Amino acid sequence: MTKATPLYQTYNRAPLRFERGEGVWLVTESGERYLDFAAGVAVNSLGHAHPHLVEALKAQAEKLWHVSNLYDVPGQETLGRRLTEATFADRVFFTNSGAEALECAIKTARRYHFTKGHPEKFHIITMEGAFHGRTIATIAAGGQEKYLEGFGPKAPGFDQVPFGDIDAVKATISDATAAILVEPVQGEGGIRAIPVEMLRELRAICDEHDLLLILDEVQSGVGRTGKFFAHEWAGITPDIMAVAKGIGGGFPLGACLATEEASIGMKAGTHGSTYGGNPLAMAVGNAVLDVVLADGFLDQVRDVALVFRQGLASLQDRFPDVIAEIRGEGLMLGIKAKGPNTDLLMAMRDQHLLGVPAGDNVIRLLPPLVTTAEEARDGLRRIELAAEKVREKAAAIA
Ligand SMILES: Cc1ncc(COP(=O)(O)O)c(C=O)c1O
């Protein structure tokens, strides 16, 4: 007898099989088209099969795939320089995923204090509802019991405070504290933004106590909120930042960015990755930045986001029994449902619109950054139809 599937059963997958993608659309094996406002969970920043990305990957694939970090990889220098020129950072370490970018960020912060003669400073303060990845350290940083259970003792050195509780942050700081780590906008946690004043306060607290501010912009970065990085809305800069998802547009790519000062401990031999910064990933990352950093691109993202956001707000007015709240910034938006979020999500899927479930009964809407106003309105019509169905179903039960 053959086994049902050879795969780990770690995912509850939707019964959909996509064969190809075209811009904001995904097409199933049977030719049905879905408007993809999940974008691979904020990964397909430029939609599917973007010609510039396809061309960059093809051209690199014909030249060189991999050489390891034993040699110079020119694409790393180029992408690194572009990232440092466009941000607060002086140094970049390339990874293959978000969790690895966070691992690098955590190591960088601990090593900073170690190098300054304070090896005892290795604790990092994080916030409830956070999601930083699925490695042993990042599940400890995220602090969510559902991800920690059964994997042995929680890795030491992560102190969690209630979301947005500045007094708790202050009370938790001790001689062992190295850094504060937050997502400017929690993604998995339910599109919960840290208010800009609070981000500024966290910056000030870090300065006062010689702590490093680490931002996890894995989901909120690379144009997602209408700025290159979400922290720009607050006018502050971190010391260290984790980036992934959108930077690769679908190719596995992440990066840890840091100031010269914060990265002082990361000398030769302290960290490494076989694939990180691989020529294929660098070709795609550079191609993504060609588009995202082009004049006017982020203005367009903000314009479309406004159309979408206003449309969602008016749907909330019309369906207060279905939609409790609209949250988020730019094209990182959330609908907090009145009933179970999965009911609305399923109803949206029935209308061939894809979103992503999140904590706090929220549905994330993360359209590709290339979504046009017309495509946003198409999405709104589908959400409207889905909300009508949810309402009808509730009325039928009552
Ligand atoms: C904010 C944030 N940090 C880290 C991660 C982990 O990234 P990856 O799944 O690429 O390891 C995610 C993934 O969803 C994320 O949203």
Closest CA to 123 of 4, 209, 19, 44: 209
- Residue 239 shares a structural domain with residue 110: yes
- Ligand 1: atom nearest CA of 135 is 11
> Are residues 250 and 104 part of one domain?
yes
Domain match, 68 and 30 both: no
In a domain, 328, yes or no: yes
> Are 280 and 147 part of one and the same domain?
yes
CA 342 / ligand 1 centre spacing (Å) = 21
Tokens standing for residue 319: 């369906």
pLDDT category, 4, cuts 50, 70, 90?
Answer: confident
pLDDT at 341 over 70: yes
Q: Which residues contact 290 (CB under 8 A, 6 or more apart)?
A: 52
Average pLDDT over residues 23-43: 98
Per-residue pLDDT of 216-244, as tens digits, reads 999 999 999 999 999 999 999 999 999 99
- Is residue 31 situated within a structural domain? yes
Q: Is residue 348 part of a domain?
A: yes
In this structure, the residue with its CA closest to atom 16 of ligand 1 is 219
* Pocket (CB within 6 angstroms of ligand 1): 41, 97-99, 102, 131-133, 183, 187-188, 216, 218-219, 244
Residues 41 and 112 in one domain: no
Determine, yes or no, domain membership for 13: no
Say how many Å lie between the CA of residue 345 and the centre of ligand 1. Answer: 21
Same domain, 96 and 211: yes
Among 43, 95, 132, 256, say which to mutate for ligand 1: greatest number of ligand atoms within 8 Å of CB.
132
Which tens digits make up the pLDDT trace of 62-106?
999 999 999 999 999 999 999 999 999 999 999 999 999 999 999
Tens digits of residue pLDDT in 136-171? 999 999 999 999 999 999 999 999 999 999 999 999
Does some domain include residue 4? no
Q: Count how many domains the chain has.
A: 2
pLDDT of residue 174: 98
How would residue 2 be classed by pLDDT, with cut points 50, 70 and 90?
Answer: low
C-alpha 133 – ligand 1 centre gap (Å)? 5
CATH number at residue 182: 3.40.640.10
Q: Are residues 103 and 164 in the same domain?
A: yes
Quote the domain boundaries for residue 154.
64-292
**Does residue 11 lie within any of the structural domains?**
no
- Please tell me whether residues 392 and 279 are part of one structural domain: no
Mean pLDDT value across the chain = 97
Using CA atoms, how far residue 26 sits from 4, 23, 288, in Å, is 26, 8, 20
Distance CA 74, CA 64 (A): 12
Distances (CA, A) of 83 to 205, 299, 394: 26, 19, 49
Residue 233 belongs to a domain: yes
The answer on 258 and 127 residing in a single domain is: yes
Q: In this predicted structure, what is the pLDDT of residue 1?
A: 57
- The answer to whether residue 117 sits within a structural domain is yes
For residues 138 and 256, state if they share a domain.
yes
Residues 44 and 163 in one domain: no
Which atom of ligand 1 is the closest one to the Cα of 186?
1
- CATH, residue 356: 3.90.1150.10
The residue out of 241, 276, 292 marking a domain boundary is: 292
